[in-house]
Amino acid sequence: MQNRYAGDMGDYSKLGLLRTLHLAGFSIGLNWYLTPDETHNSDGRHVNYLYQDEYRACDPALWTALGSLVRLDNREVRYMESDDILQATFFSDCLDFRRKKKAKRIELRSEWFAKSLDVMAGNEIVCVDPDNGLVVSSAKGKPKENKYVLPEELASYYAQGSTVVYYQHKARYKDEHYIGQLEELLRREDLPSVSGMVLKFEKVSQRYYMFLIQPKHKKMLEKAVKGMLATAWGDYFRQLYPVKA
């Protein structure tokens, strides 16, 4: 996540999903995986949905709140850390790797993540929102690694008893590629008794929300997602995994 994205279509989909889960009775933690703003592209400009009534129907209160944020140019995550937008525990410390050597990056990330674990502890659902999603081999150990979540970080949140939801950017690969990444995670020994789910948001810039589900949350979570897909959100979200008969 970068502050310049605040209030865009990605936030509408993510916060809409988390608001649904909160209304279903789950306590929510959100680690923005905040990184410094970049300037090399125009990402974050997907805000036309705020002027289209068909999107308003999904969650009118959220649509109105994010519209106010964008129009006032309050495009920072701190303006979304409000009960009016999402009742949650937030972690918004910035993971800044600029001008840092590899050893220092490792040290910074370790300290940053340990702090986030303490803040997120006790929440039934922890959502993590890295720019790009699950780390890929080409980014490991590199300065851009802060734009990804690491498998061991997901496992650490899970070990605290939380169901974990992580954002996954859709690049040039087909859905099966990202489902395969999730299935590989589900085989990890440090994710005992885990089950998975994938929701794909299919409008404008496509993205996935990948679930690592605790057994104790499974029935309640599946009911909440089914209910969400029966609303106006069902025009934009699709469940890809597990595949329903």
Distance of CA 77 to the CA centre of its chain: 13
Question: pLDDT band at residue 5, thresholds of 50, 70 and 90?
Answer: confident
pLDDT at 200: 97
pTM beyond 0.85, yes or no: yes
Higher per-residue confidence, 243 vs 144: 144
pLDDT at 196 over 60: yes
pLDDT at 190 over 90: yes
Residue 73 CA to residue 75 CA, distance in Å, equals 5
pLDDT at 225: 97
Which ranges constitute the DSSP H helices of 39-163? 53-56, 60-71, 102-120, 151-159
Q: Which domain holds residue 71?
A: 3-241
Residue 29 CA to residue 244 CA, distance in Å, equals 28
Residue 44 CA to residue 55 CA, distance in Å, equals 17
DSSP 3-state of 209:
strand
Q: Which of 56-65, 157-166, 236-245 is predicted with the least confidence, judged by mean pLDDT?
A: 236-245
Higher per-residue confidence, 42 vs 45: 45
Q: Which residue has the tokens 């916060």?
A: 15
pLDDT at 44: 46
Predicted confidence (pLDDT) per residue in 6-31, tens digit: 889 999 999 999 999 999 999 999 99
Number of domains in the chain: 1
Rounded to an integer, the average pLDDT of 128-152 is 95
Residue 245 CA to residue 238 CA, distance in Å, equals 14
pLDDT at 3 over 60: yes
Which ranges constitute the DSSP H helices of the chain? 9-23, 53-56, 60-71, 102-120, 151-159, 175-186, 218-229
Averaged confidence pLDDT in the chain: 93
DSSP 3-state of 45:
coil
Rounded to an integer, the average pLDDT of 123-138 is 96
Residue 119 CA to residue 153 CA, distance in Å, equals 14
Residue 93 CA to residue 169 CA, distance in Å, equals 21
Predicted confidence (pLDDT) per residue in 142-154, tens digit: 999 999 999 999 9
pLDDT at 39: 66
Give 177's contacts (C-beta < 8 A, 6+ positions apart).
Answer: none
Question: pLDDT band at residue 242, thresholds of 50, 70 and 90?
Answer: very high
Share of the chain above pLDDT 90, in %: 82
Share of the chain above pLDDT 70, in %: 96
Which ranges constitute the DSSP H helices of 187-241? 218-229
